[in-house]
Amino acid sequence: MQRSWNSYSSGKFFDELITPHGRPRVAARRAVNLLKGLSPEDLAARRAEAELAIKDMGITFTIYSEGKNIDRTWPFDIIPRVIPARDWRKISRGLAQRCRALNAFIDDIYNKQKILKDGVVPAEVILESGNYLPQCTGVSPLFGVWAHICGSDLIRDKDGRFYVLEDNLRVPSGVSYMLENREITKRVLPELFENYSILPVDDYPSRLYATLASLSPRTTRRPCIVVLTPGIYNSAYFEHSFLARGMGAELVEGPDLFVEDDCVYMRTVDGPARVDVIYRRIDDTFLDPEAFREDSVLGVPGIMRAWKAGNVAIANAPGSGVADDKVVYAFVPDMIRYYLKEEPSLASVKTYLCMRPRERDYVLQNLDKLVVKPANESGGYGMLVGPHATRAKRAEFARLIEKNPRNYIAQPTLALSTAPTFIDGRVEPRHLDLRPFILSARDTWVTPGGLTRVAMVKGSLVVNSSQGGGSKDTWIVEASS
Amino acid sequence: MTMLSRVAERLYWMARYLERAEDTARLTLAYSHLVMDIPENTAPDWDILVRIQDAEPLFTERHRAFNELNVLGFLIAEPDNPGSIHRSIVAARENVRTTRDVLPREAWEHVNELYLYTREFAEASVRRRNRQQFLDQVVARCQMINGLLMTTLCRDHAYRFTKVGYLLERADMTTRVIDVGAGVMLREERHHTAVDPLIWGSLLQSLSAMGTYRRTIGPLVEGEAVVDFVLRDRTLPRSVRFCLDGIRRELHPLHNHGGALRVLDGARRSLSRFQVEGASREELHNFIDRFQLRLNSLSAEIVESWFLPAER
């Protein structure tokens, strides 16, 4: 493997493991040296072992295409990404700060709307957004927290700084892959763990349990917590089941629940059983056919009534999506100053709002340099990567923006950092991002590390699993004494 | 800890399908051996294996002749036959996939491996050359999964509904094994009676009951004694009575058990009353037919009582 490592270069991009001079970064040195010492055959054997483990463990995600559900195994790269704990502590503080501000914002929007009245955020941006649910007005969940589970996407630009790219406040997924990735690395590269002190990730399910349990409206010794899934054909079903198991909670589908006297019950072999906390993994508007989409068969009629009456907690609270919008994203630094009276400690990406005429003009004139995103799509769908797009595609987006400016934002094309990735028997740089998960209730807690997603295609910046992305184990390592 | 009705139902079917895969493999193995032991002109017909699954209509849609390859293809690899090994394992896996959160983690891994194994080899194992190894593997892997579940599941609802699924399917399959015997004998004008012990012996083997039979009944394998033994022995884990007694033990502690126990006790009574001695093969076959209907209504009653509970 020596040769392929020695010729490794990430060009103008910041590399997570290797310095521009081709030497391993301090925190990654022992891991890289060990990997260098493995023969290509050995490395290939480890990789095959990892693939087998993934297949046997049945770690899959489902892609819906051409009317068929395809179960894919999770693409995994065996070379871990290493981040020094000292750097991580700063990032972690920044993430917690962001989440506190976002929750204060959601609570404000559904109650006094002070931030709109004070003109810090333009009212029409919020009130005309499809993510704003008037049905949630006047509700104050426990601790003022709405988004109990947040997945924020971080990227590292060529200056080596971390930036927040977006906050996923509705039903962020991926945490189970973060946990499984560690499991797999332990199985196939056990010797890497020698002489390293790596922060463990496997207590996430218990942290999640504690967060959810603290929301219970009843003071029973062990509240009844359920994970509400859209069912086995959902792309994240594996994760829903994984988390339910990890918490010892019931994994339920809509038809397993019903509402009576504004309380939620599940149907069991012993008769109805009262539910205290619902960790829902279905979208807001599918939650309750009484309140939102009448045609939803995934939801539970009356569940919104039960939630508003305070008889059941729902995480994330319905309506949290109001802050999960790429236009709102542009205002998060202002929110942090407004609610917390602090300066943001994590950088955001410069964002042009097409709703503002001056910024729109800039965007239209610079489409070849920018990334344009619809305000509320996820999974990397419907976006334009200017520098890589055809002229026709850019013209199409120009029309879309002019037709509906509120729905589009633009950001500079970021030079996503890379890390050595094992491709066809060689080590090559591939772009990646990082999704840590933040739990909020009485306190805020951030996973040590998160899910690193890798664009497996050379030069690609799209890391979404639905579009050919893979992942890596992510290590937060303490400096050795 | 209570259990979602939907989850209980899936565990029940997981167990039934795993047991079905194992038992179909056992029966197919035993029958393949039997055919090799019997002189060519008196060899029993392959159609019996399809008939005991009550699957003739499905079979004749697909094949014209009841020959060895068609029948075994149908039993081992046919994706549309709910009694085939392949289909049973697919169905078991779907049920485990959706109940992983209540099962030990290895359960999913083993069932998934069994599924991958079957998907790869079922088609190629229809011919005699690979058949034995494939069927042995299916039986061994099913037993490993069963052993894993029985030694790791807490004795709560998850265990209870899994156990009931296993026992009910096993009772059903044991009656079908007897029916194979009866079916072969019904055509006995073409056989030498010397072949009888071979047939009953191979059926005992398919139930792993040969050794026990010799120890408790005696070295001579005789039709009536075998039937009585596998229907009513209290200690043989694959006897019908043993399975029904086990089901009763599991259902009794559940609330709302009235309906299911009524049907179950009816079946147990009819089992005790049946006169094996002197029964013609026709009578035996008819008894089995009626008894299988009772098992069907027991399953329907279980679904009704615990899997489709009405709102309060």
CATH number of the CATH domain containing A251: 3.40.50.11290
SS3 B280: coil
Among candidate residues A397, A107, A257, the one with its CA nearest the CA of residue B5: A257
Q: Print burial letters for A397-407: b (CB count within 10 Å at least 16), e (below 16).
A: bbebbeeebeb
Binary contact (B5, A267; C-beta < 8 A): yes
Place of tokens 């079908």: B176
Is A266 part of the contact surface with chain B (CB cutoff 8 Å)? yes
Query: Is residue A211 located within the same domain as residue A269?
Result: yes
Q: Is residue B64 part of a domain?
A: yes
Q: List the single residue in A with minimal CA-CA distance to B4.
A: A268
The pLDDT score that the predictor gives to residue A60 is 61
Per-residue model confidence as pLDDT tens digits over A163-204? 999 899 999 999 998 999 999 999 999 998 888 899 999 999
Tokens found for residue A329: 């994203």
Per-residue model confidence as pLDDT tens digits over B54-69? 899 999 999 999 999 9
Question: What is the C-alpha separation between A218 and A450, in angstroms, rounded?
Answer: 32
Per-residue model confidence as pLDDT tens digits over B218-236? 988 888 899 999 999 999 9
Q: List the single residue in A with minimal CA-CA distance to B94.
A: A232
The pLDDT score that the predictor gives to residue A6 is 84
Is A258 part of the contact surface with chain B (CB cutoff 8 Å)? yes
Q: List the single residue in B with minimal CA-CA distance to A223.
A: B1
Average pLDDT value over all residues in chain A: 90
Amino acid residing at B274: F
CA A265 centroid distance within chain? 30
The pLDDT score that the predictor gives to residue A380 is 60
Say whether pLDDT at A336 is over 70: yes
State how far residue A232 is from chain B, nearest Cα, in angstroms. Answer: 7
Binary contact (A241, B101; C-beta < 8 A): yes
User: A13 Cβ partners below 8 Å, 6+ apart?
Assistant: A158, A415, A416, A417, A418, A429, A431
Binary contact (B100, A245; C-beta < 8 A): yes
Q: Is residue A181 part of a domain?
A: no
Binary contact (A253, B116; C-beta < 8 A): no
Q: Is residue A122 part of a domain?
A: yes
Lowest mean pLDDT among A428-437, B47-56, B253-262: B47-56
Q: Is residue A393 part of a domain?
A: yes
Task: Say which DSSP state B127 is in.
Answer: S
Q: Is residue B312 part of a domain?
A: no
B3, B108, B255 ranked by CB distance to A58: nearest: B108
Q: Report percent pLDDT > 90 for chain A.
A: 64
The mean per-residue pLDDT over the stretch B105-123 comes to 92
What residues of B are in the A interface, CB distance below 8 Å? 2-8, 94, 97-98, 100-102, 105, 108-109, 112-113, 116, 157, 161, 254-256, 306-307, 309, 311-312
Place of tokens 């061994």: B140
Lowest mean pLDDT among A231-240, B118-127, B185-194, B302-311: B185-194
Q: Domain total for chain A?
A: 2
Query: Is residue A254 located within the same domain as residue A314?
Result: yes
Query: Is residue A92 located within the same domain as residue A224?
Result: yes
Is A252 part of the contact surface with chain B (CB cutoff 8 Å)? yes
Question: What is the C-alpha separation between A199 and A450, in angstroms, rounded?
Answer: 11
The pLDDT score that the predictor gives to residue B281 is 82
Among candidate residues B247, B303, B301, B306, the one with its CA nearest the CA of residue B271: B247
Binary contact (B8, A56; C-beta < 8 A): no
B2, B100, B161 ranked by CB distance to A273: nearest: B2
Chain B residues lying within 8 Å of A268, measured CB to CB: 2-5, 309
Amino acid residing at B221: V
Query: Which value does ipTM take for this structure?
Result: 0.77
DSSP string of B14-58, one letter each residue = HHHHHHHHHHHHHHHHHHHHHHHHS-GGGPPPTHHHHHTTT-HHH
Mutation to test the B interface, candidates A269, A270, A279, most B Cβ within 10 Å: A269
Question: What region does A41 belong to: left with phi over 0, alpha with psi -120 to 50, or beta?
Answer: alpha
Q: Is residue A119 part of a domain?
A: yes
Query: Is residue A287 located within the same domain as residue A390?
Result: no
Binary contact (B311, A267; C-beta < 8 A): yes
Query: Is residue A278 located within the same domain as residue A328?
Result: yes
CB pairs under 8 A between A and B: 72
B6, B102, B116 ranked by CB distance to A256: nearest: B6
Query: Is residue A251 located within the same domain as residue A360?
Result: no
What's the farthest any 2 CA atoms get from each other in chain A? 70
Q: How confident is residue A1, by pLDDT bands cut at 50, 70 and 90?
A: low
Q: Is residue A446 part of a domain?
A: no
Last residue of a domain, one of A393, A412, A431: A412
Per-residue model confidence as pLDDT tens digits over A15-44? 999 999 999 999 999 999 999 998 888 888
Q: Higher pLDDT residue, B181 or A393?
A: A393
Element (H, E) at A264: strand A263-268
Say whether pLDDT at B163 is over 60: yes
The mean per-residue pLDDT over the stretch B193-210 comes to 84
Among candidate residues B179, B235, B166, B124, the one with its CA nearest the CA of residue B22: B166
Query: How many C-beta atoms surround the C-beta of residue B214 within 10 A?
Result: 13
Per-residue model confidence as pLDDT tens digits over B76-113? 999 999 999 999 999 999 999 888 878 988 898 899 99
Per-residue model confidence as pLDDT tens digits over A414-439? 889 999 999 888 899 999 999 999 99
Last residue of a domain, one of A315, A340, A365: A340
The mean per-residue pLDDT over the stretch A264-287 comes to 93
Binary contact (B4, A55; C-beta < 8 A): no
Chain A residues lying within 8 Å of B109, measured CB to CB: 56-58
A55, A232, A249 ranked by CB distance to B98: nearest: A232
User: Does the CA dihedral A48-A52-A55-A59 come out positive or negative?
Assistant: negative
Question: What is the C-alpha separation between A155 and A94, in angstroms, rounded?
Answer: 14
Residue A355 sits in a domain whose CATH number is 3.30.1490.270
Full domain range(s) for residue A267: 87-149+199-340
Q: Is residue A4 part of a domain?
A: no
Query: Is residue A334 located within the same domain as residue A357?
Result: no
Query: Is residue A225 located within the same domain as residue A276?
Result: yes
Q: Is residue A453 part of a domain?
A: no
Query: Is residue A142 located within the same domain as residue A96?
Result: yes
Amino acid residing at A388: H
Contact A139, A308 (CB under 8 A): yes
Contact A428, A8 (CB under 8 A): yes
Contact A292, A135 (CB under 8 A): yes
The mean per-residue pLDDT over the stretch A345-371 comes to 92
The pLDDT score that the predictor gives to residue A481 is 47
Query: How many C-beta atoms surround the C-beta of residue B114 within 10 A?
Result: 23
Chain B residues lying within 8 Å of A258, measured CB to CB: 311
Strands A426-435 and A418-423: antiparallel
Is A350 part of the contact surface with chain B (CB cutoff 8 Å)? no
State how far residue A104 is from chain B, nearest Cα, in angstroms. Answer: 34
Per-residue model confidence as pLDDT tens digits over A43-73? 889 989 988 888 777 666 555 444 445 556 6
Instruction: Enter the pTM of the model.
Output: 0.81
The pLDDT score that the predictor gives to residue B310 is 52
Binary contact (B2, A57; C-beta < 8 A): no
Chain B residues lying within 8 Å of A273, measured CB to CB: 2
Q: How confident is residue A5, by pLDDT bands cut at 50, 70 and 90?
A: confident
Q: Is residue B138 part of a domain?
A: yes
Full domain range(s) for residue B115: 5-307
Amino acid residing at B303: V
Q: List the single residue in A with minimal CA-CA distance to B103.
A: A245
By CB neighbour count within 10 A (0-12 exposed, 13-18 middle, 19+ buried), where does A93 fall?
middle
Say whether pLDDT at B312 is over 80: no
Contact A266, A250 (CB under 8 A): yes
Q: List the single residue in A with minimal CA-CA distance to B158.
A: A269
DSSP string of A144-207, one letter each residue = G-S-SEEEEEEEE-TTS-EEEEEEE-SS---HHHHHHHHHHHHHH-GGGGTT--B---TTHHHH
State how far residue A283 is from chain B, nearest Cα, in angstroms. Answer: 21
Place of tokens 């010794």: A221
Q: Domain total for chain B?
A: 1
Query: How many angstroms separate the Cα of A400 from the Cα of each of A130, A370, A388, A413?
Result: 18, 15, 18, 19
Q: Is residue A168 part of a domain?
A: no
The mean per-residue pLDDT over the stretch B159-188 comes to 88
Binary contact (B254, A269; C-beta < 8 A): yes
Binary contact (A251, B101; C-beta < 8 A): yes
Contact A311, A299 (CB under 8 A): no
Is A233 part of the contact surface with chain B (CB cutoff 8 Å)? no
Binary contact (A269, B98; C-beta < 8 A): no
The mean per-residue pLDDT over the stretch B117-124 comes to 93
Binary contact (B312, A271; C-beta < 8 A): yes
Last residue of a domain, one of A289, A314, A340: A340
Query: Is residue A273 located within the same domain as residue A369?
Result: no
The mean per-residue pLDDT over the stretch A444-461 comes to 92
Q: How confident is residue A385, by pLDDT bands cut at 50, 70 and 90?
A: confident
Is A51 part of the contact surface with chain B (CB cutoff 8 Å)? no
